[in-house]
Structure 1
Amino acid sequence: MEQEKQHDRFVTFPYPQENYSDGSVNYGGIDLTNETQRIDEIEEAKRSPDLRRLLEEVNLQDGLFMTLGCDYRQLDGGISGYVDFTFRSGLPASLTLDAVNLDDYFWAYLAKQELQHHISDGAMVSYARSALKWSWSELEMGGIRGKKITLAFCCQHSEDAEWCLDHLRHFLVTEFPSLPPRQA
């Protein structure tokens, strides 16, 4: 996974709402692990049932991850957006060191899905690699430094974007946590 080279204003979480000159709004980062009732403030979750489900399951359950921000928008050529997430604080370093390798674990998860569902070899992984871009950047949360993972997506159809978000949700909530413990 590549490190995001561009300066990112959103390196300290939570971050405040921003209004842009073009009339668009970044509603800010909400810690849904502590303020679960605020999920209805996330406009993007109203546009995508699978994004809403991802936000609910990743943040509202005890788990390894938490979301930091997201986007989901209709463009002339399709749907684009992203999900920013990180490991929750207090986890062992042997686990969180894998942050920059989550994309490799995700591709392996999709390859396993292909085998289990008798899908032609490489079809899911090839599609996902064309529609998804993984990156990471530095993050500060509560005075602790970590890594923010961004999964950006760009799909021609909303059902393709929903497919990507559903697989990310399953990976973060079920698949990655069930892997054998990593060694430091």
Structure 2
Amino acid sequence: MRALVSVCLLSGLVVLGGCGLFKGGDSNYPTQEGTGPTNPNPTGERQTIFGEDGITLFGGGDNAAQGGGGGIGVNSFLWRASLDTISFMPLASADPFGGVIITDWYQDPKAPGERFKVTVYIMDKRLRADGVKVAVFRQKSDPKTGWVDAPTDLSTGPKIENAILVRARQLRINSDEAGDTNKK
């Protein structure tokens, strides 16, 4: 019985110590002074867990006019051009906030016995030549072991990158022309 009372007292002291009844150290908690219904944010700064730009889903400020996102975390022209360029391959994953597009394995009917997989990385919010990177993976069919990794031509990735950039420039020009006709 005495041990039970001792355990309860010790537990109570630990709980009270955690509540701050005993001031053993400095408190790093923010105070609520100067805030309330009439003055919810005394500094006037926007406070959000999403950062100073916030989250934009359907539109955007200055960035949208430059193709900088309009709700996605990467350049919208590069994003759309990437999807257009690899549209013949089945998509496995597409992350517009992180800027990663991963295709599933694609087997060209003209080349039986080999298949390809592509990963596109969009690395900038601006339309730049170094804003896109493509990784190409190739496998060959082996009757004994199944699909086996095979080397790809080193020029394949840059060729796809160039095709994406050409398409992105076309999309940018078309959007500028559409904007000009709407102003007239």
Report the TM-score, using the length of structure 2 for normalisation: 0.26
Relative contact order (alpha carbons < 8 A, sep ≥ 6): 1 or 2 greater? 1
Structure number with higher helix proportion? 1
TM-score in terms of structure 1 length:
0.26
Greater Rg over alpha carbons, structure: 2
